[in-house]
Structure 1
Amino acid sequence: MDDTEQIERLYTPGEVADYLGIERQTVTKYARLLEQNGYNFLKDEKGNRNYTDSNIMMFKELIKQRNRPGIALETAAKSIVAIYESKSVFPTDTLIPSDITRLEQATADRLDQQDKTMEKQSELIRVLLERLDEKSKYEEERDKRFNERLDKIVAEVSASVIKQLDQKENQLLLTAKEEVEITKKEVASAKEEIEAIKAEKKASSLDFSESEEEALTRSFSMP
């Protein structure tokens, strides 16, 4: 570590205010006044001021000069900027080498953290995509099993209906055959009855003729 980094330490506005016993807004007011007179404070990547031990001494001197009779704050600021710029071993750039190194490291750390975050997000997205794919496959397989089951049920119901229709048709045919057989028997029975009646009538007619013939014969043979 070089002498610059050993001597110079960066302070926040709040730390400077606490050290000097003034308000934080006053620190900002003094810093702006010094900047208006040509002084450049150290700033981070966001443009926020960081103060060194030298800056604290400048503020102390400014407060001291402000309390002197007849000294305007603007005049005190100009003289202080001139004195400290001539004595300063640091460049007037807004960032010293040690601060640049620290910011570069902070930026690298932030980028590394972002890379890790993006890697985690990518892994999360990959897991989510895998789950979605598994869910899609599961739903596809479920729909396939449902359709197969539905087809099986439809086939079973269709077969049952067809069987019932066949049984009903067979029953109707059997009933029709039975009725035809009954009708045939009834017709045959009716024919037998008719033939019997005819035979009976014929026999009755023959008996009548024979009786008449005997009566005539007897009448002719009488004296």
Structure 2
Amino acid sequence: MEGIQGNLEALYSPGEVALQLNIQRQTVTKYARIFETEGFVFHKDDKGNRAYTDTNILMFRRVTDAKNKPGITLETAIKGIIPMYTKDSITLGVTEISTENEHYKDVTNEKLDMLMQAIAKQQELIIEQNKKIDSLQEQLNEHRLDVKDRDIKLLEHIREHQKDRKEEMLLIAQNEVAAAKQEEQQKGFFARLFGK
């Protein structure tokens, strides 16, 4: 049984595969040996070293995901995955991929809906905040007008008070001048009367 090997696929070393899957290099080799015992053939160079394709990496990723489920052994996971990647089971693999694509599409749409709802909520909050800002700006403008009116009235009051005070001071000065003249006139009369 030979695995599906694309002629144009890139080849990766066991270390590169391990890095991509975030597993140990020995784990990659262990997976490959079990696949080979089940009849799967990997690409090998002239020294017999295995090289892995993107398809092989996808197989190993599926194995890792499957063996993490309760009650699934590594061998069981690999035996369940091999039919998806053999030439005589291509339809099953395509169906599996199609089902997986539908699942991802559903998940993506669900996340997109959640994101759209979050954006709508954010927009509502922004609108509310803008209304509050407008209200506060209006209150501030009214307060400024009140302060300006108060300042104008205070200035008018000060000017009126200064005018009243000026008139009062002028009246006091006039009274003092009149009193001084009267005193002068009285002195003059007595001085003439007594000859002094």
TM-score, structure 2 as length reference? 0.58
Are 2:184 and 1:183 equivalent residues in the alignment?
A: yes
Find the residue that maps to 1:104 and give its secondary structure: helix
Percent identity, aligned pairs only, is: 15
Are 2:128 and 1:127 equivalent residues in the alignment?
A: yes
1:70 is matched with: none
Deviation at 1:162, TM superposition (A): 2.2
Are 2:60 and 1:60 equivalent residues in the alignment?
A: no
- Find the aligned partners of 1:148 and 1:30 in 2 and give their Cα distance: 87
- Find the aligned partners of 1:155 and 1:109 in 2 and give their Cα distance: 69
Match runs of 1:37-186 below 5 Å: 38-39=55-56, 41=58, 49=62, 59-60=74-75, 85-88=86-89, 90=91, 92=93, 96-186=97-187
Larger radius of gyration: 1
Deviation at 1:142, TM superposition (A): 1.2
Are 2:44 and 1:29 equivalent residues in the alignment?
A: no
Deviation at 1:165, TM superposition (A): 2.1
Structure 1's unaligned 5+ residue stretches are 1-23, 65-79, 198-223
- Find the aligned partners of 2:134 and 2:84 in 1 and give their Cα distance: 71
Structure 2's unaligned 5+ residue stretches are 1-21, 36-41, 43-51
Deviation at 1:95, TM superposition (A): 6.2
- Find the aligned partners of 1:137 and 1:52 in 2 and give their Cα distance: 63
- Find the aligned partners of 2:139 and 2:152 in 1 and give their Cα distance: 20
2:6 is matched with: none
Deviation readout 1:123-143 (Å, 9 max, x if unpaired): 111111111111111111112
- Find the aligned partners of 1:139 and 1:124 in 2 and give their Cα distance: 22
1:75 is matched with: none
What letter corresponds to residue 121 of structure 2 in structure 1? Answer: K
Find the residue that maps to 2:107 and give its secondary structure: helix
Deviation at 1:151, TM superposition (A): 2.0
- Find the aligned partners of 1:28 and 1:141 in 2 and give their Cα distance: 75
Deviation readout 1:5-47 (Å, 9 max, x if unpaired): xxxxxxxxxxxxxxxxxxx94797369746826547479xxxx
- Find the aligned partners of 1:58 and 1:90 in 2 and give their Cα distance: 25
Deviation at 1:91, TM superposition (A): 5.2
TM-score, structure 1 as length reference? 0.52
Deviation at 1:146, TM superposition (A): 1.5
What letter corresponds to residue 118 of structure 1 in structure 2? Answer: I
1:206 is matched with: none
What letter corresponds to residue 103 of structure 1 in structure 2? Answer: Y
The answer as to whether partners of 1:42 and 1:49 remain within 8 angstroms in 2 is: yes
What letter corresponds to residue 173 of structure 2 in structure 1? Answer: L
- Find the aligned partners of 1:180 and 1:104 in 2 and give their Cα distance: 112
The answer as to whether partners of 1:41 and 1:49 remain within 8 angstroms in 2 is: yes
Deviation at 1:180, TM superposition (A): 0.7
What letter corresponds to residue 108 of structure 1 in structure 2? Answer: N
Provide the alpha-carbon RMSD of the alignment: 4.2
